[in-house]
């Protein structure tokens, strides 16, 4: 074989063999985990490895996705876009090592669910520039979930949300079942202005076709785009804009999307606004659901402007074996669901209730008053019943309905450990 032929065949082989990666992004509470949970039940997900990353001290999301113990990893040491890029590379290495040792069957795709606050650019940079990763994996698609009900406001107030939209090649407009047509159309127009080339997909009740996740994206999935981010950026600049739009220096990563929109981010240090932080409230005894729901309603009402996201698992008196999942996005409380059992081998091992709050501009004394409101539920049933008739209470939907159980049996995780059960080869002797 002459040299030219060798070079050609190597070049042809490399990109074909690399495992496609889908980045699933979207602001806090936009519906990423809900979408993932639906997709995880599809037969087409066999062989897909999922990496979940959360902002906050206690990981919740991986407990909310069913039947995932064997193909899901929690990236729990911080937000993917700033502190855990090394961990992300380590996870890719581990996947590759296990495949090489035939401990797991070949992986057909990796899906990374980022935190709602993640800037996708540093993650893209890792995928496209880190030598180990880009030799074996290729960024295929960036999907951003945007809430039809809250997305416009989030785009206005949170630069992270804009960056997620601009970097995406597919936009999933979630919660269309809850939005008016005017809300939806305004959001569609805003998204079009930010990222005209991205495909827009409407999502109702958290359900989208698996093809939405699996289909290759426009920009990132193009076979002719060089894997190097710098080369890709060069192509984009040549196509769209004046020179000097970007520079890759020591600490800056810039990205220009298909429409010449320009994103700049810092490579290493945490660049989340210091205005955003998280804290956890823990209860070591079962909570009274009525009192808790009313207290949470008052918390949402009083601090709506500062609460970005609240979620957790609660041990409810009288129903202690099945944790109740509590979900709030800003001042909206979503209908609770119950898990079939408490997650094992996790922060919830002790069976305590925990709520993770992600807040912005919340003063310490305000945090103290939230803690106080949630530490002392009135035991006066008559008073509770009166306040339960407050029709404007954000947590009304927690009071009225029977809480369905979601089967989430056998859910466990090993943090960074890759769990091989699903990928195990028959007869491989493991």
Strand 276-283 relative to strand 353-360, pairing: antiparallel
For tokens 């809430």, the residue is 147
* 32 sits near ligand GTP (criterion: CB under 6 A): yes
The number of residues that bind ligand GTP (CB under 6 A) is 23
Q: Which stretch binds ligand GTP (CB under 6 A): 122-130, 204-212, 219-227, 273-281?
A: 204-212
Instruction: Residue 10: name the closest of 123, 115, 135, 107 by CA.
Output: 135
DSSP 25: E
* 174 sits near ligand GTP (criterion: CB under 6 A): yes
* 30 sits near ligand GTP (criterion: CB under 6 A): yes
Chain CA centroid to CA 274, Å: 20
* 34 sits near ligand GTP (criterion: CB under 6 A): yes
Q: Which of 31, 120, 291, 394 binds ligand GTP (CB under 6 A)?
A: 31
* 114 sits near ligand GTP (criterion: CB under 6 A): no
CB 28 within 8 A of CB 116: yes
Rounded least distance, CB 357 to ligand GTP, Å: 11
Q: In this complex, which beta carbon is closest to ligand GTP, that of residue 326 or of residue 384?
A: 326
* 329 sits near ligand GTP (criterion: CB under 6 A): yes
* 422 sits near ligand GTP (criterion: CB under 6 A): no
* 122 sits near ligand GTP (criterion: CB under 6 A): no
Q: In this complex, which beta carbon is closest to ligand GTP, that of residue 204 or of residue 352?
A: 204
Rounded least distance, CB 115 to ligand GTP, Å: 6
CB 372 within 8 A of CB 286: no
Half-sphere exposure of 324 (CA within 13 A, CB side): 23
Chain CA centroid to CA 412, Å: 18
Rounded Cα distance between 301 and 315, Å, is: 23
CB 354 within 8 A of CB 346: no
Rounded Cα distance between 430 and 427, Å, is: 8
* 178 sits near ligand GTP (criterion: CB under 6 A): yes
Q: In this complex, which beta carbon is closest to ligand GTP, that of residue 128 or of residue 187?
A: 187
Rounded Cα distance between 411 and 37, Å, is: 13
Q: In this complex, which beta carbon is closest to ligand GTP, that of residue 92 or of residue 334?
A: 334
Q: Which stretch binds ligand GTP (CB under 6 A): 80-88, 202-210, 339-347, 365-373?
A: 202-210
Half-sphere exposure of 389 (CA within 13 A, CB side): 5
Q: In this complex, which beta carbon is closest to ligand GTP, that of residue 337 or of residue 340?
A: 337
* 118 sits near ligand GTP (criterion: CB under 6 A): no
Return the residues of window 51-70 that contact ligand GTP according to CB under 6 A. 61
Return the residues of window 265-304 that contact ligand GTP according to CB under 6 A. none
**Phi, psi (degrees; rounded to nearest 5) at 202:** -85, 135
* 334 sits near ligand GTP (criterion: CB under 6 A): yes
Q: How many CB atoms lie within 10 A of CB 279?
A: 15
Half-sphere exposure of 13 (CA within 13 A, CB side): 6
**CB neighbour class for 140 (10 Å; exposed up to 12, middle 13-18, buried from 19):** buried
* 401 sits near ligand GTP (criterion: CB under 6 A): no
Q: Which stretch binds ligand GTP (CB under 6 A): 22-30, 104-112, 159-167, 368-376?
A: 22-30
Q: Which of 177, 209, 350, 376 binds ligand GTP (CB under 6 A)?
A: 177
* 229 sits near ligand GTP (criterion: CB under 6 A): no
* 160 sits near ligand GTP (criterion: CB under 6 A): no
CB 309 within 8 A of CB 362: no
Rounded least distance, CB 86 to ligand GTP, Å: 22
Q: How far is CA 112 from CA 29, 37, 97, 250, 257, in A?
A: 16, 13, 19, 26, 20
Q: Which stretch binds ligand GTP (CB under 6 A): 28-36, 226-234, 239-247, 250-258?
A: 28-36
Q: By the criterion CB under 6 A, which residues form the site for ligand GTP?
A: 26, 28-34, 61, 116, 145, 174-175, 177-178, 203-206, 309, 327, 329, 334
């Amino acid at each position: 074989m002459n040299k030219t032929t060798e070079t050609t065949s190597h070049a042809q082989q490399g990109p074909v063999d690399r495992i496609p990666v889908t980045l699933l992004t979207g602001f806090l509470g936009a519906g990423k985990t809900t979408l993932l949970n639906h997709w995880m039940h599809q037969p087409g997900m066999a062989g897909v490895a999922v990496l979940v990353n959360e902002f906050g001290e206690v990981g919740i999301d991986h407990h909310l996705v069913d039947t995932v113990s064997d193909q899901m990893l929690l990236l729990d040491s911080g937000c993917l876009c700033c502190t855990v890029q090394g961990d992300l590379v380590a996870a890719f290495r581990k996947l590759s090592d296990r495949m090489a040792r035939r401990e797991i069957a070949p992986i057909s795709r990796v899906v990374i669910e980022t935190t709602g606050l993640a800037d996708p650019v540093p993650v893209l940079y890792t995928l496209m520039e880190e030598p180990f990763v880009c030799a074996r994996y290729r960024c295929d698609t960036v999907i951003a979930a945007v809430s039809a009900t809250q997305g416009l406001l989030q785009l206005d107030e949170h630069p992270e949300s804009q960056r997620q939209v601009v970097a995406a090649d597919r936009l999933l407009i979630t919660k269309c079942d809850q939005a008016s047509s005017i809300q939806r159309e305004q959001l569609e127009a805003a998204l079009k202005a930010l990222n005209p080339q991205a495909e827009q997909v409407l999502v109702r009740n958290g359900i989208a076709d698996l093809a939405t996740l699996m289909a290759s994206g426009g920009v990132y999935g193009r076979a002719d785009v060089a894997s190097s981010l710098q080369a890709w950026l060069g192509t984009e600049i040549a196509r769209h804009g004046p020179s000097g739009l970007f520079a890759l220096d020591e600490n800056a990563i810039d990205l220009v999307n298909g429409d010449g929109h320009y994103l700049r981010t810092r490579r290493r240090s945490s660049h989340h606004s210091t205005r955003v932080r998280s804290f956890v409230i823990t209860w070591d005894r079962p909570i009274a659901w009525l009192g808790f729901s009313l207290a949470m309603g008052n918390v949402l009402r009083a601090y709506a402007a500062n609460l970005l996201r609240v979620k957790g698992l609660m041990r409810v008196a009288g129903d202690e074996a099945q944790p109740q999942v509590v979900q709030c996005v800003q001042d909206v409380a979503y209908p609770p669901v119950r898990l079939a059992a408490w997650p094992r081998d996790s922060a919830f091992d002790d069976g305590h209730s925990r709520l993770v709050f992600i807040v912005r501009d919340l003063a310490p004394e305000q945090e103290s008053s939230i803690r106080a409101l949630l530490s002392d539920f009135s035991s006066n049933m008559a008073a509770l019943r009166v306040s339960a008739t407050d029709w404007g209470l954000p947590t009304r939907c927690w009071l009225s309905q029977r809480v369905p159980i979601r089967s989430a049996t056998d859910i466990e995780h090993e943090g960074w450990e890759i769990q091989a059960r699903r990928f195990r080869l028959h007869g491989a002797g493991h």
